[in-house]
Amino acid sequence: MYKIKLPREINQYELEELVKVFLKAGEYIFITETNTTDTIQDSESDVLICVPGSPDLIDKKETPKEKNKLETGEKPEKNLKNQMKRFLFRELEQLTGTTPDWGILTGVRPVKLAGELLVREESLEKVKEILSTDYFLTDEKIQLLIDIVDCQKQIVKQSPREAIGLYIGIPFCPTRCVYCSFPSNQGKPEQIESYLEALHQEIAFTAENMRKKGWYPETIYIGGGTPTTLMPEQLDRLLHHVFEAFDLNKLREFTVEAGRPDTITPEKLAVIKKYKIDRISINPQSMNASTLKRIGRNHSPEDIKEAFRMARAAGIPQINTDLIAGLPDETESDFVNTLEQILDLAPENITVHTLALKRASKLKEIDSEFNYKQGKKVRSMLDQAKEMLDRDGYHPYYLYRQKQMTGNFENVGYAKENTEGIYNIRIMEEAQTIIALGAGGISKAWYPEENRLERIPNVTNYEIYMERLDEMLQRKTDNLFEEEKEC
Ligand code: SF4
């Protein structure tokens, strides 16, 4: 047991997130003033790590190069927290023999940090140095961040406040995948129909209020769940409502997540095409039949190829495809096989995810340590993906991390030139208001003056969403549409 002694009562959340990168639940415990060693059984194999409580004490243990970071402008409190994280990192690195690629970074948006540093420091070399000596990132991850920031700067300028990212959620799927932690239900036809009615009301309400404020959608993303679970007529009705309700004169991008190949038909693609929607996502995750079966998919690799063929025949110009590295029992050669087959299909975007198992997933219930067992293999899979995609003309354009990712790695969106997804960039940048409609949608009101986002969630359960629709609309009125309150 690793006993990590903190100097005083502090918010240990970020420190614990870092510790979890090295150690499994049950391998460590934090000791604080209220939770002392008296209450915890000692054992000879215990390892005690005492985290120093003042910058001076930690400072003594840092290398001269690391001390330079004290001049990088962090607030004192944040600075102390980062010092503690660096201290813990070094101790745990030595004790466990593990050096995580993302250093002390535990947040989900490292690209945002790199972008902010570039604005603040105005020197690429200085930014690289900070990411290396303050945050302990590997050179490879630093270069990845710099490449992505560079790419994003060319695609999106600062969004005007009136430009909104609009998300519409369809929380239904034909079956539930074993790793799924999203709102995904196998609703009966009449339930789906009632859900759509409620959603149409929220669409009309939001569109009217956006018009009053002079706001317009810059991007629209219909996600889920799997939106193509809807019947063609339902999808048509939904899109009709969207086109009727919103002012789409300045719309730059419209995506419908087709997701599961077993929901894609020529009729649904014809509806998507009728509304001139330029992007869909077909998400095989793996091209290995046995894996698809194991993860709870009802379709074969052939169905995926057929879905691509249908989408191309329908004239959909941009297809994104999601893959996952680290799926249960997949070997490196299984993953390379998936990559080769996907590259043959030539989608415009490929998003390579690292499997992240959250508490809500079935697989996490079966094996709670799954995330820790796959690290080495997943690193090699991600490296091979980068190499193969680079060779085929794809470049990384957005990146995010999640909690509980296998090996503590990342998700990277790759794109062919001029096909980058604007919505994906904006949502990670956190510099735009996102309005999310439907069950599980989390709107984010952006306050540029304070560089702050405020979350306005809808309830996740779709039945409760229908019941409490008025309350969801009121939340939007209070937090998005009413004149801004002093905060
Ligand atoms: S397709 Fe996506 S949302 Fe649906 S069950 Fe699978 S992981 Fe969950």
Tell me: the pLDDT tens digits for 357-392? 766 566 666 566 666 667 788 999 999 999 999 999
Supply the pLDDT for residue 52: 79
Is 260's C-beta closer than 6 angstroms to any atom of ligand 1? yes
- Please give the angle made by the CA atoms of 341, 347 and 353, to the nearest 5 degrees: 75
Predicted confidence (pLDDT) per residue in 127-136, tens digit:
999 999 999 9
**Cα angle, residue 463 at apex, residues 462 and 466 outer, rounded to 5°:** 85
Least trusted range by pLDDT, from 20-24, 137-141, 432-436, 456-460: 20-24
CA distance 198 to 232: 18
Regarding the beta carbon of 220 and ligand 1, being less than 6 Å apart is answered: no
Q: Does pLDDT of 31 surpass 90?
A: no
> Rg (Cα) of the chain, in Å, rounded?
24
Q: What is the pLDDT of residue 164?
A: 97
358 close to ligand 1 (CB < 6 Angstrom): no
Instruction: Tell which wins on pLDDT, 430 or 163.
Output: 163
Mean pLDDT, to the nearest integer, of 391-410? 89
CB of 180 shorter than 6 A to ligand 1: yes
DSSP string, 394-428: -EEEEEE--TTBGGG--EEEEE-TT---HHHHHHH
Q: Is the CB of 28 under 6 A from ligand 1?
A: no
- Tell the residue nearest (CA) to atom 6 of ligand 1: 177
Atom of ligand 1 nearest to the CA of 183: 3
68 band by pLDDT with thresholds 50, 70 and 90: very low
CATH of the structural domain 163-437, one choice from 3.80.30.20, 3.40.47.10, 3.40.640.10, 3.40.50.720:
3.80.30.20
Tens of pLDDT, residues 423-464: 999 999 888 999 999 999 999 999 988 888 999 999 999 999
pLDDT > 70 in the chain, percent: 88
pLDDT value for 125: 92
pLDDT at 59: 55
Binning pLDDT at 50, 70 and 90, where does residue 72 land?
Answer: very low
The answer for residues whose C-beta is within 8 angstroms of residue 190's C-beta and 6 or more apart is none
Q: Verify whether ligand 1 is closer than 6 Å to residue 163 (CB atom).
A: no
41 has a pLDDT exceeding 80: no
Strands 318-325 and 442-447: unpaired
* pTM, rounded to two decimals: 0.88
**Taking residues 210-227, what's their average pLDDT?**
95
Q: Torsion angle, CA of 361/4/76/114, rounded to 10 degrees?
A: -40
CB 225 near ligand 1, within 6 Å: yes
Of ligand 1's listed atoms, the one at least distance from the Cα of 179 is: 7
Decide whether any atom of ligand 1 lies within 6 Å of the 173 Cβ: yes
| CB of 226 sitting under 6 A from ligand 1 | yes
pLDDT in tens, 300-324: 999 999 999 999 999 999 999 999 9
Query: Rounded to the nearest 5°, which phi and psi values hold at 167?
Result: -115, 135
Residue 24 has pLDDT above 50, yes or no: yes
Q: Average pLDDT of 60-75?
A: 51
pLDDT attached to residue 71 = 41
Which atom, in ligand 1's list, is nearest to the CA of 260? 1
Task: Report whether 454 contacts 475 (CB < 8 A).
Answer: no
Cα-to-centroid distance, 361 and ligand 1 (Å): 10
Protein residue with its CA nearest to atom 3 in ligand 1 = 225
Task: Say if ligand 1 is within 6 A of residue 476 CB.
Answer: no
Nearest residue to 421 via CA among 200, 245, 165: 165
Query: Which ligand 1 atom is at minimum distance from the Cα of 297?
Result: 6
Q: Among 31-45, 295-309, 378-392, 461-475, which is the least confidently predicted range?
A: 31-45
Q: How many residues does the chain have?
A: 487
* Residue ID of nearest Cα to ligand 1 atom 2: 225
Query: For ligand 1, is residue 277 a contact (CB within 6 Å)?
Result: no
Atom of ligand 1 nearest to the CA of 181: 8
